[in-house]
Amino acid sequence: MVHPQLDPTAREPLAAQAVAAKTLKNLSWQQIADASGLSVAYTTAAVLGQHPLPAASAKAVAELLGLDAEAAVLPQTIPVRGSMPNRIPTDPTMYRFYEMLQVYGTTLKDLVHEQFGDGIISAINFRLDVKKVADPEGGERAVITLDGKYLPAKPF
């Protein structure tokens, strides 16, 4: 049976426990994703409390992290999504994403509407990828791909 969460903070203690176990076992998110059988972005978001995990994936992740059987139950519930309770993040990395949306949000909105019409980009039917690539000018660059299904608005 599918169970939804009502408390947006319900998964925070388990997420902290999972990250502590990940650190103690010196595991990468990719290793945890490999155990789950799901993508690294989805698995990371799920362990951090933003997505549900299928039962087999939740059990595999809990086992890999050395967590008890109860720790495999909560990740199977549908969470209350949204990881920025204060709206403006103070963590520098998260703030930069906020800043990017402040600067480019209207541009992205206009370009999406111009190319697709009135609608939204789904964050449910969605794929995320993060890659590190060499910068031709020296150093490294982050390439972040946000791949969401377009859902047109429908008059009713």
Catalytic residues: 96, 99, 122
Q: From its phi and psi, is residue 84 left (phi > 0), alpha (psi between -120 and 50) or beta?
A: beta
Radius of gyration of the chain (CA): 18
CB 27 within 8 A of CB 64: yes
Residues 6+ apart with CB under 8 A from 107: none
Q: Can you tell me whether residue 134 is helix, strand or coil?
A: strand
Show the tokens assigned to 141. 């660059």
